[in-house]
Amino acid sequence: MRARLAEMIEIALRGGREVMRVYEEGGAVERKADGSPVTEADICCEAVILEGLRRSAPDIPVVAEEAAATGLVPATCELFFLVDPLDGTREFINRNGEFTVNIALIENGEPVAGVVYAPALGLLYAGAPHEGACKAWVSTGGVPGPSQRIHVREAPEAIVAIGSRSHGSPQTIGWLQRFDIERFTSLGSSLKFCLIAEGAADVYPRLGRTMEWDTAAGDAILRAADGMVATLDGAPLTYGKRGQSDDCDFANPWFVAWGDPGLRRRAPSARRAGA
């Protein structure tokens, strides 16, 4: 798994170079069938990642966001990749730097390796549940520096909550009222999972729609840092969901990303809600 994770990091770095090329040059924004934005960076980065994964792991299927949007979805088995070439496209368009390149490896419904790379911020996160999680700064030339181990923190009495910059909801604010909140931070893309993984935040409730490629890489990193992502009934979030009667393939239910396991047991109302 360590070698596989190293390959995924290298491929994410190459994809990030494509993202930054478009970011610096500018480019048109189009709309997909569901109304969500897509840019040249999404397309070019995904092409680089798909080629890299084909070379490094030709026998493992890849489910990638932009290909899936056009109906190109391979058959999946116990082992497959999930790719979001530009998580946080709205952040990319708004030029705030809070966008990421996400690659995850799924095995038997669980994220077993993940890479989240924020090229504009020069930040790389990676992790696998049996290898631990790490963070590294990346130079402007795309070369990662020394990595440091990261881990969730023990939650204080007044916690730091984190939420989506572009996809907040009244349900999320209501859910958080069960806790004593020191600070609420808005952030784009999978960086929310990573901040919990490195102990800079404690909880991220997402009471809104997401797809598996949005969450898998950050979920893998958070699990590797001893956190977890659970549905509102308390079950771990799973991957490879196809043939769902109430939603499309690969759609996620509402979930909560947790740091300290003790935080989930702190509020009786949270337990009653299954979270």
**Of the candidates 29, 188, 20, which has an alpha carbon nearest to the alpha carbon of residue 96?**
188
In whole angstroms, what is the distance from residue 104 CA to residue 61 CA? 12
Q: Give the length of the chain.
A: 275
Is residue 214 annotated as involved in ligand binding?
yes
Q: Which two tokens stand for residue 203?
A: 């909880």
39 is in an annotated binding site: no
121 assigned ligand-binding residue: no
What's 143-200 look like in SS3? CEEEEEEECCCCCCCCEEEEEECCCCCHHHHHHHCCCCEEEEEEECCCHHHHHHHCCC
Report the alpha-carbon distance of residue 255 to residue 106 in Å, rounded.
Answer: 18
Annotated binding residue 7: no
Angle at Cα 148 formed by Cα 3 and Cα 24, nearest 5°?
80
E strand or H helix at 111, and its extent?
Answer: strand 110-118
Do 131 and 221 form a contact (C-beta atoms < 8 A)?
no
d(CA 128, CA 106): 11
89 is in an annotated binding site: yes
Q: Is 260 annotated as a binding residue?
A: no
- 59 annotated to bind ligand: no
Residues 153 and 8: their CA atoms lie apart, in Å, by: 27
Q: Detail the residues annotated as belonging to a binding site for Mg(2+).
A: 65, 84, 86-87, 214
Q: Detail the residues annotated as belonging to a binding site.
A: 65, 84, 86-89, 214
Q: Detail the residues annotated as belonging to a binding site for substrate.
A: 65, 86-89, 214
